[in-house]
Amino acid sequence: MQCSIETVMAGLCGNVEGIRSALYDALTPLGFEVYPFKIGWYNAVLSSSLHLPYADDTLAVVVLSTPSMFERTFRPFLESGGCVSVNDPIDQSIRHYINNCVSQCFPGQEVNISYDYEMLPSRKPKFLAQTAAHVAGAAYYYQRADIAVNPWGEKKMFGVCIHPKLGGWFAIRALLVFPGVVVGEELQQRPPPDCVPSQESRVELLERFNLRWKDGSYRDIVPAAERYSQEQQTYFSTPPGQRMALLRQWGLFSGAGSGTQAGEPGSERGNFES
Ligand code: B12
């Protein structure tokens, strides 16, 4: 559904279902998934220094990219010459499509958009993407605490979200907050599917994600309905500083100058592309 001024006036885009379906209709064809949740669900699992500064009943939506995002938006974005700045091309593309979608679907409505790579002045991420995906019911966030007896001693082990249909073949890209939209009983929290239920498989998952993340095998911890194309895998396994050269080689980028690349000082994104 495209939200015209009439639909906004009619209240269709001021309620959860209107907002969810507008985003769903606009973003699903582009290879994204959207999951609404209440800010209170997110803040409930975090210490106050990490809280998002909104009332508990405020509507938020977490946006995931699926494997087809690469072909449905990234390639067309590059082919149309959309990649203009020195920042990470995937980030530019995603920002372009999500910003456009929000301004077309919700003209005149306040929507605060944060991207996964954006940091606060304190150097903390603007939002914890995995926590948001978990509380929204999108993808279970498997953490060290989900393992009763862990074999790693004091070693830091990062957690990872697993999607019931896509396994690890997705990324968490953005958080949309609708400060003016108060959510009531119509939105009920549902736990994300626990698709890695056994202790052994959870240990295996965290080991793959922490010790062998480069081989991508954590993504296949459950059978996935869709995976990244070979081209997309080649792109993401190329060090960020060499991706512009790869795009040039593929004929997808003709801009001059090497610019600052993702992962290099001065770029928006560190070296944690997904
Ligand atoms: C900083 C960062 C990194 C850093 C540090 C990693 C880290 N996790 O801290 C580095 C550079 C190492 C990194 C690397 C990678 N990263 Co990274 N990274 C991030 C980033 C930007 C922020 C993570 C962060 O700082 N979290 C802060 C810590 C403190 O949060 P936390 O550990 O989750 O702890 C909180 C929870 O436990 C919560 N909590 C407490 N109790 C409970 C209970 C419940 C039920 C819940 C839900 C939560 C909860 O409270 C804690 C805070 O107090 C996120 C994007 C984002 N905006 O979130 C991506 C992100 C986590 N990275 C991601 C990926 C894929 C990677 C890489 C594999 C990159 C790649 N090439 O593909 C690598 C490899 C990871 C590794 N094994 O080393 C993905 C993970 C996707 C997924 N399926 O989970 C993310 C979400 C990016 C994305 N766009 O999707 N990354």
What does the domain layout of the chain look like in residue ranges? 5-249
**Is residue 99 predicted with pLDDT exceeding 50?**
yes
Calculate how far, in angstroms, residue 12's C-alpha sits from the geometric centre of ligand 1. Answer: 35
Which atom of ligand 1 is closest in space to residue 124's alpha carbon? 25
Distance CA 187, CA 23 (A): 16
Query: Measured from the CB, is residue 172 less than 6 Å from ligand 1?
Result: yes
Phi, psi of 110 (to 5 degrees): -75, 120
Query: Measured from the CB, is residue 210 less than 6 Å from ligand 1?
Result: yes
| Amino acid identity for residue 228 in this structure | Y
Query: Measured from the CB, is residue 129 less than 6 Å from ligand 1?
Result: yes
Q: Which token pair is 98?
A: 């999500």
Helices 89-105 and 16-27 meet at what angle, rounded to 10? 130
Could you identify the residue written with the tokens 């070296």? 271
The residue to mutate among 161, 272, 274, having the most atoms of ligand 1 within 8 angstroms of its beta carbon, is: 272
Each residue's pLDDT tens digit, 181-192: 999 999 999 999
Each residue's pLDDT tens digit, 21-80: 999 999 999 999 999 999 999 999 999 999 999 999 999 999 999 999 999 999 999 999
pTM for the full predicted model: 0.93
Q: Which residues contact 72 (CB under 8 A, 6 or more apart)?
A: 29, 30, 31
Q: Whose CA is nearest to atom 51 of ligand 1?
A: 46
Beta strand extents in 89-209 (DSSP E only): 112-115, 140-142, 160-162, 171-182
Average pLDDT of the chain, as a whole number: 90
Which atom of ligand 1 is closest in space to residue 135's alpha carbon? 47
Distance CA 221, CA 196 (A): 8
Give me the mean pLDDT over the 237-242 stretch: 92
Q: Whose CA is nearest to atom 62 of ligand 1?
A: 272
Query: Measured from the CB, is residue 88 less than 6 Å from ligand 1?
Result: no
DSSP state string for 222-250: S--S----HHHHHHHHS-GGGHHHHHHHT
Which pLDDT score, from 0 to 100, does residue 5 have? Answer: 52
Calculate how far, in angstroms, residue 205's C-alpha sits from the geometric centre of ligand 1. Answer: 14
Residue 14: pLDDT band with limits 50, 70, 90? low
Each residue's pLDDT tens digit, 133-177: 999 999 999 999 999 998 999 899 999 999 999 999 999 999 999
- The DSSP letter of residue 198 is S
**Is residue 262 predicted with pLDDT exceeding 80?**
no
Distance CA 119, CA 101 (A): 23
**Is residue 3 predicted with pLDDT exceeding 60?**
no
CB atoms within 10 A of CB 229: 13
The residue to mutate among 128, 142, 271, having the most atoms of ligand 1 within 8 angstroms of its beta carbon, is: 128
Each residue's pLDDT tens digit, 210-239: 999 999 999 999 999 999 999 999 999 999
Picking from 20, 15, 22, 17, the residue whose alpha carbon sits closest to that of residue 1 is 22
| Amino acid identity for residue 43 in this structure | N
Which pLDDT score, from 0 to 100, does residue 258 have? Answer: 47
Query: Measured from the CB, is residue 205 less than 6 Å from ligand 1?
Result: no
| CA pseudo-torsion sign 114, 115, 120, 121 | negative
